[in-house]
Amino acid sequence: MEDQGIIHLYLQRSQQAILETKNKYGAYCRVIARNIISNFSDVEECENDTYLAAWNAIPPNLPRNFSVFLGRITRNIALDKYGYNTAKKRNREFEVILTELEECLASPDTVETEYEEGEIANLINQFLYGIDEQARNIFIGRYWYSYSIDELSMRFNMSSSKVKSILFRTRNKLRVYLDKEGVNL
């Protein structure tokens, strides 16, 4: 079923909408959740919470891109669940992803400024449009889809050291960019 058809079912408050979403995007949501949390039952719970959140959000929201809309919900729910898990239960590979992102943040002795939600995302958008396509896609693959280095090296047909290097350099550039824009994270 086309995305517009599924959204139409949500608007009609038909429970078939959940079934159609699960059929088309269930695997996609599970991959996003599994890259953040390792526990199987947590992943399942995450998927179901995503359907519920979509049910509550449409209407009034009308997603322009349904897959990204669902992905964003799954990602946020999975991140919250990750935060609740104790250190031993956490997904170590996702921990590495977060540690990498820490390099983009200012040093602890810098005074932080408060930012509104989405404000930094706009700057990251501008930054991503300004870099080359491959580096951009690898960056999004790692920090949006939370793909492992091996998965990225397979997808982009390059060695894992090259992937790591591109990511490192992109993070460095992002930190410099945010710094130039006067952002203290």
Partner 1 sequence: MKKEDLFKEIGLIDENLIEAAGHNGTEKRKKGISKKWVILVACLVLYSSTASALLATEYYKNQNSEPYIRYLNAEDMELEPATQYDAEKFLHALKSDNNEYVYIAINRLVESFNDPTLRVKALKELQPFIKNENQKIADAAAFAVDILSKSYRSPYIVKLADGSMIFTLFNNYSDYGSQNVIWRIKDNVLKEYLSFSAPSMYITKIIPSPNHKLIAIVTCSNKSNFVQISNIEEGMTSPELIESARVKYGAQKELDTWIRTDHENYSYADNLVWKDNDTLVFEGSLAYQNTEIIENVTVKYQFSKKIIEVKEKGL
Which residues here bind partner 1, judged by CB under 8 A?
A: 64-65, 67-68, 71-72, 75-76, 79, 83, 88, 92-93, 96-102, 104-105, 112, 115, 117-118, 120-121, 124-125, 128-129, 133, 136-137, 139-141, 143-145, 148-150, 152, 154-157, 159-162, 164-165, 168-169, 172, 185
Q: State whether residue 130 is helix, strand or coil.
A: helix
Cβ-based nearer residue to partner 1, 11 or 105: 105
Contacts 24+ apart (CB under 8 A), 50-54: 50/74, 50/77, 51/18, 51/21, 51/22, 53/77, 54/10, 54/21
Cβ-based nearer residue to partner 1, 15 or 144: 144
CA atoms of 27 and 13, how far apart (whole Å): 23
Cβ-based nearer residue to partner 1, 23 or 144: 144
| C-beta atoms surrounding 180 within 10 Å | 8
Nearest approach in angstroms of CB 91 to partner 1 is 11
Q: What is the DSSP letter of 107?
A: P
Cβ-based nearer residue to partner 1, 13 or 162: 162
